[in-house]
Amino acid sequence: MAVTIKDIAKEAGVSVSAVSLVLNNRPCRISEEKRKQIREIAQRHHYAPNQAARSLVTKESRMLAFILPDIENVFFSSLAKRIEDCCRREGYMLLIANSNDQYEQDKVLLRNISARGVDGIFIIVSNESYRYKSKLIQELQNLPIPYVMVDRVYEQFVCDKVLYDNEQGAYLAVQHLQENGHTRIGCVVNTASNNGRLRLQGYKRALKEKGIKFDPRYVAQGDYHFESGYQAAQELLKTDITAAFVSNDMMAMGFLKKLYECGLTVPQQFSLVGYDNSLSPFILGVDLTSVAQDPQRLGEEACQLLFTRLKDSQAPAKMVCLPPQLIVRNSVGKME
Amino acid sequence: MAVTIKDIAKEAGVSVSAVSLVLNNRPCRISEEKRKQIREIAQRHHYAPNQAARSLVTKESRMLAFILPDIENVFFSSLAKRIEDCCRREGYMLLIANSNDQYEQDKVLLRNISARGVDGIFIIVSNESYRYKSKLIQELQNLPIPYVMVDRVYEQFVCDKVLYDNEQGAYLAVQHLQENGHTRIGCVVNTASNNGRLRLQGYKRALKEKGIKFDPRYVAQGDYHFESGYQAAQELLKTDITAAFVSNDMMAMGFLKKLYECGLTVPQQFSLVGYDNSLSPFILGVDLTSVAQDPQRLGEEACQLLFTRLKDSQAPAKMVCLPPQLIVRNSVGKME
Give every residue of chain A whose pLDDT is below 70, as ranges.
1-2, 46, 48-59, 280-285
The pLDDT, as a whole number, for residue A4 is 78
Residue B226 to residue A97, Cβ atoms within 8 A: no
Give the nearest partner residue to B51 out of A48, A84, A115, using CB atoms: A115
The pLDDT, as a whole number, for residue B55 is 47
Chain A residues with CB under 8 Å of B257 CB are 281, 284
Q: How far is B99 from chain A (nearest CA, A)?
A: 10
Residue B63 to residue A112, Cβ atoms within 8 A: yes
Name the β-bridge partners of B219.
B187
Q: How far is B157 from chain A (nearest CA, A)?
A: 20
Q: How far is A318 from chain B (nearest CA, A)?
A: 28
The pLDDT, as a whole number, for residue B52 is 45
* Residue in chain B nearest A286 by alpha carbon: B284
Question: For strand A325-327 and strand A289-292, is the pairing parallel, antiparallel, or unpaired?
Answer: antiparallel
* Residue in chain A nearest B250 by alpha carbon: A282
CATH number at residue B283: 3.40.50.2300
B152 and B265 share a domain? Answer: no
* Residue in chain A nearest B108 by alpha carbon: A48
A190 and A283 share a domain? Answer: yes
Chain B residues with CB under 8 Å of A70 CB are 81
Give the neighbor-by-neighbor strand order of the sheet with A243-246. A219-221, A185-189, A243-246, A271-276, A289-292, A325-327
State pLDDT tens for residues B167-179.
999 999 999 999 9
B160 and B170 share a domain? Answer: no
Contact A250, A219 (CB under 8 A): no
Report how many Cβ contacts below 8 Å link chain A to chain B: 134
A82 and A99 share a domain? Answer: yes
pLDDT at B49 over 80: no
State pLDDT tens for residues B6-30.
888 888 888 888 888 888 777 778 8
A171 and A289 share a domain? Answer: yes
Structural domain count, chain B: 3
- Could you tell me which residue, B55 or A280, shows the higher pLDDT? A280
Give the nearest partner residue to B256 out of A77, A84, A284, using CB atoms: A284
pLDDT at B324 over 90: yes
Assigned domain for A331 exists: no
Assigned domain for A225 exists: yes
The pLDDT, as a whole number, for residue A282 is 65
Q: How far is A209 from chain B (nearest CA, A)?
A: 35
A233 and A149 share a domain? Answer: no
Helices (H), chain A: 5-12, 16-23, 32-44, 51-58, 74-89, 103-115, 133-142, 166-179, 194-209, 226-236, 249-261, 295-311
Q: What percent of chain A has pLDDT over 90?
A: 71
State pLDDT tens for residues A263-298.
999 999 999 999 998 776 666 667 899 999 999 999
A137 and A182 share a domain? Answer: no
A265 and A182 share a domain? Answer: yes
A195 and A242 share a domain? Answer: yes
The pLDDT, as a whole number, for residue A150 is 98
A272 and A175 share a domain? Answer: yes
A288 and A302 share a domain? Answer: no
pLDDT mean across residues, chain B: 91
State pLDDT tens for residues B267-319.
999 999 999 987 766 666 678 999 999 999 999 999 999 999 999 989 999 99
Residue A71 to residue B71, Cβ atoms within 8 A: yes
- Average pLDDT score over residue span B208-231: 95
Assigned domain for A330 exists: no
Chain A residues with CB under 8 Å of B71 CB are 71, 77, 80-81, 84, 96
A160 and A305 share a domain? Answer: yes
Residue-range definition of the domain harbouring residue A68 = 63-164+295-324
Assigned domain for B331 exists: no
Residue A97 to residue B97, Cβ atoms within 8 A: no
The pLDDT, as a whole number, for residue B51 is 47
